[in-house]
Chains A and B, each alone.
Chain A
């Protein structure tokens, strides 16, 4: 079974530029999560999708971050414009749902904003 795929693996941009990350969850997984992990901290949930609907985006900075999962499969997370404090690893995870709580994580995208 293929795991969660993410791209790119690394990205370096200047502040005020925009950036997009892509995630393809495990086939058949209904629930998809985006996390932000700042160096030395645990992952923080940004947004949760159930199929193509948003379940929780309470911690997503909506003035600059946006995310979509149009067909209920892969997802993109965008930052526009980026700030220095957005430097972090962005992790995507998925679960089958239906009472299964274990999350499967992708390798992450390491973003550096200069």
Chain B
């Protein structure tokens, strides 16, 4: 079953603009992660935020988590054509042995 709902399903922006993707989930979580998938390739881990954290940064990435609203957002600043990919949020629950439940993903297209 899919836990996460991602919004928007597709996003098209120009190079240099910021991209924001949102993820909502249904059950309580231990952590929330974001992954990137380039066409036809495996997933690459981007960032993890724990349930007791509200914001986290990694390079051009900024993730926020609002556990009261069961939602998260991923912001990519100053986007580049190389950021074109699908982005997935994934939630990890307590006592789940590291199991992740993925959302449907947001397809980001960055035009040069």
Contacts and interface: CB of A to CB of B under 8 A. Distances in A.
Interface of A: 4, 31, 33, 40-45, 48, 50, 55-56, 91, 93, 95, 97, 100-108, 110
Interface of B: 2, 4, 30-31, 33, 35, 40-45, 48, 88, 90, 92, 97-105
Contacts of A56: 97, 99
A42 B42 contact: no
10 contacts: A31-B97, A33-B99, A42-B2, A43-B102, A91-B42, A93-B43, A103-B43, A105-B35, A105-B43, A107-B41
B101 A102 contact: no
Nearest to A99: B98
Can you list the 6 inter-chain pairs with the closest CB atoms, starting with the nearest?
A42-B102, A105-B42, A105-B43, A107-B42, A102-B45, A55-B97
Given A42-B88, A43-B43, A50-B97, A101 B2 contact: no
Contacts of A44: 2, 102
Nearest to A97: B98
Nearest to B45: A102
B97 A42 contact: no
Contacts of A108: 41-42
Given A31-B97, A42-B4, A101 B48 contact: yes
Contacts of B35: 105
Contacts of B102: 42-44
A43 B45 CA distance: 14
Nearest to B3: A42
A103 B46 CA distance: 10
A48 B99 contact: yes
A56 B101 CA distance: 13
